[in-house]
Amino acid sequence: MKRVITYGTFDLLHYGHINLLRRAKALGDYLIVALSTDEFVKLQKHKECYFSYTERKSLLEAMRYVDLVIPEENWDQKKEDCQQYHIDVFVMGDDWEGQFDYLRDQGVEVVYLPRTPEISTSRIKKDLHE
């Protein structure tokens, strides 16, 4: 079984998120999503989520592409997660290009997928405030 992992906040779930998760799942047999906890988002990402961790987790678990949702609690857990969950492929959006190449030293394939350019959570929040 080929295991894939990706990370993110996944607030205000939209079709760009779904495209990313669909393409990530296509790279393997089992997709794990490390979902940023509320504390991590607030204290380390310096953002606010509209939906709580529990609500965002429920949305992701309802998607057919997602097999398991785990908490992302800090920036440095990726190496440990890859070991613990026997990850074969690490996937992130291409705006993170090069940031996680160090995982290749563990034998993990690192893939940066193109984002859906016309949609983002930031854009949705901005448009709602206008």
DSSP-assigned beta bridge partners for residue 93: 113
Contact 113, 24 (CB under 8 A): yes
Closest CA to 11 of 43, 54, 62, 68: 54
- Specify whether 47 is catalytic: yes
**CA dist list (Å): 23 to 40, 86, 124:** 26, 20, 22
- Catalytic residue status for 79: no
- Which residue in 42, 45, 57, 78 is the catalytic one? 45
2, 25, 42, 47: the active-site residue:
47
Q: Yes or no: say if 74 and 14 are a contact pair by the CB < 8 Å rule.
A: no
Active site members: 45, 47
